[in-house]
């Protein structure tokens, strides 16, 4: 069985190693690093022999156009990170929100004591918003981006599909920041001064996972702010993703540590 990760500028990705460990090396898993202008032309040729593939930046939303059917959660979120192929039919799923929920529950003590703040508007940000709803939060804040119109559109679309309220203001209580952008990771190490205005009582969850710790984590830790990165979320969502492709065997404990 052949599987792959589709993305652009993703040579750093650990997904092949993680998926091979989960399946105990019973799968052939590769990276497909594809520029956006080549996506439509290359898709039929590249994916004809695959049993499924995972999706990362920048294709989590655009890949939906190529899926014959969508899982209800993926359709609600408006983003796909896993595509299962059966008899040539593509079905899109989203497991990012499940990986996010497990990461929060297992790695952020007293997470209900924080107000959630999502930084970014992409596919993973949409999954994180749903994750907060499933965790039981009743309101979140969205920040980041160059244009207010982008933030307003994201807030409008999220408010139309979620039961929680989505705002653009910051309450004066401890905040749980979720960085859903490449800023502070391997791709964009430079962190603008006004990128995240965190305080000493806040918690930073940087979804980037390379380098480890990420540049954003190091900046936060310099100010004694607690952090985690996206490594465990990557593993958790991969475990869920493989349930749509092949049975997940007993997981080696080393992958979770």
> d(Cα 219, Cα 224) in Å, to the nearest integer?
9
| Alpha-carbon separation of residue 140 from 11, 29, 76, 132, 189 (angstroms) | 33, 36, 18, 8, 26
List, in sequence order, every beta strand (DSSP E) within 8-106.
28-33, 52-55, 69-70, 82-86, 89-93
Catalytic residue chosen out of the listed positions 2, 41, 60, 243: 60
Q: Name, in order, each residue with C-beta under 8 angstroms of 129's C-beta and a sequence gap of 6 or more.
A: 118, 140, 142, 158, 162, 164, 166
| Alpha-carbon separation of residue 83 from 17, 53, 212 (angstroms) | 19, 5, 28
DSSP letter at 108 equals S
**Is 45 tagged catalytic?**
no
Give burial (CB, 10 Å; 0-12/13-18/19+) of 111: middle
Residue (of 229, 174, 221) closest to 202 by Cα position: 174
With beta carbons less than 8 A apart as the criterion, state whether 182 and 13 touch.
no
Kindly state the helix (H) or strand (E) to which residue 143 belongs, with its residue range: strand 139-143
Which residues are known catalytic residues? 60
């Amino acid at each position: 069985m052949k599987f792959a990760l589709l993305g652009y500028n993703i040579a750093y990705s650990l997904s092949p190693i993680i998926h091979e460990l989960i399946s105990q090396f019973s799968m052939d898993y590769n990276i497909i690093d594809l520029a956006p202008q080549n996506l439509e032309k290359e898709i039929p040729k590249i994916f004809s022999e695959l049993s499924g593939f995972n999706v990362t930046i920048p294709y989590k939303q655009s890949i939906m156009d190529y899926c014959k059917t969508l899982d209800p959660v993926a359709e609600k979120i408006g983003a796909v990170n896993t595509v299962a192929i059966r008899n040539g039919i593509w079905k899109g799923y989203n497991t990012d929100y499940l990986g996010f929920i497990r990461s929060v529950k297992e790695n952020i003590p007293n997470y209900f004591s924080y107000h959630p703040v999502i930084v970014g508007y992409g596919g993973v940000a949409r999954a994180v918003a749903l994750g907060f709803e499933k965790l039981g939060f009743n309101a979140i804040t969205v920040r980041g981006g160059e244009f207010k119109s982008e933030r307003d559109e994201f807030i409008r679309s999220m408010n139309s599909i979620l039961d929680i309220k989505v705002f653009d203001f910051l309450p004066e209580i401890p905040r749980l920041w979720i960085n859903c952008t490449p800023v502070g990771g391997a791709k964009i190490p430079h962190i603008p001064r006004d990128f995240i205005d965190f305080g000493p009582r806040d918690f930073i969850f940087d979804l980037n996972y390379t380098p480890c710790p990420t540049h954003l984590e190091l900046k936060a830790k310099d100010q004694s702010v607690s952090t985690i990165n996206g490594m465990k979320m990557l593993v958790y969502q991969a475990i869920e993703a493989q349930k749509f492709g092949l049975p997940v065997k007993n997981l080696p404990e080393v992958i979770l540590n």
